Amino acid sequence: MKKHIIILFLFFVNLMVNAQEEVSIQEEAIALENAMYSNSYVVILETSNDYFALRKKMFNLSKELNIEIDTMDRGFDRKEKIISLPENYEDIIYAGFYYPRRFNSETLSLEYLNYYKDDSKFLEGPMALVTMITSDKKEAEERLKSIKMYEKKAFILQARIYIACMH
């Protein structure tokens, strides 16, 4: 009888150890995923399917609001009809493709709205004139308040942005 109790006890101990290891692995996976993403607030001045109209507005607002523009070396590929890096870009992995703004920034840029909406089809949606990406909600709200008098359509989009290596 003692042998059965000992075997049963060891069986339950083994189950508990395995369950604890499983929880630990799940916690590590969650921590790793959280390290790969940033919970951010994206302040958007306007959206449009017309790149050139947004670009013109970006340059006008840059002068009016004294906000720097950062294109990240991207332009508009008229043939492919996408925002993209030049075909001869030094990083050949992204040459000719869209590379999104992902980190905190206070510059104006043209982005794909759906990239910040957790949509895998981000090249299919409207473009956005972005003025700020921040992890601080109050900072985003202050920026929105300061630009609302210039652009009534401006809004904040809460986004979970991938910030890990893209190579």
Same-domain pairing of 42 and 32? no
**What 3-state class would DSSP assign to 121?**
coil
- Is residue 109 domain-resident? yes
pLDDT score of 95 more than 90: yes
Same-domain pairing of 4 and 28? yes
- Token couple for 105: 């920034």
The boundaries of the domain holding residue 134 are: 38-162
Same-domain pairing of 31 and 92? no
Specify the pLDDT at position 6: 64
Same-domain pairing of 56 and 117? yes
Same-domain pairing of 53 and 32? no
Specify the pLDDT at position 125: 85
Same-domain pairing of 123 and 48? yes
What is the tens place of the pLDDT at every residue in 41-93? 999 999 999 999 999 999 999 999 999 999 999 999 999 999 999 999 999 99
Same-domain pairing of 25 and 65? no
Same-domain pairing of 75 and 153? yes
Nearest CA to 141 out of 128, 159, 153, 155 is that of 155
What's the domain count of the chain?
2
**Gap between the Cα atoms of 44 and 85, Å rounded:** 22
Number of H-type helices and E-type strands within the chain: 3, 6
% of the chain with per-residue pLDDT over 90: 66
- Is residue 167 domain-resident? no
Specify the pLDDT at position 124: 81
pTM: 0.80
**Gap between the Cα atoms of 91 and 103, Å rounded:** 19
Q: Is 36:160 a contact under the CB 8 Å cutoff?
A: no
- Is residue 83 domain-resident? yes
- Is residue 24 domain-resident? yes
Q: Which letter does DSSP use for residue 127 in this model? A: E
Same-domain pairing of 18 and 84? no
- Is residue 99 domain-resident? yes
Same-domain pairing of 9 and 55? no
Give, rounded to a whole angstrom, the gap between the first and last alpha carbons of the chain. Answer: 61
What is the tens place of the pLDDT at every residue in 100-139? 999 999 999 999 999 998 766 778 889 999 999 999 999 9
DSSP string, 58-117: HHHHHHHHT--B--TT-EEETTTTEEEB-TT-SSTTTBTS-----S-B-SBEEEEGGGGG
Q: What is the mean pLDDT of the chain?
A: 87
- Is residue 8 domain-resident? yes
Same-domain pairing of 25 and 77? no
Same-domain pairing of 113 and 42? yes
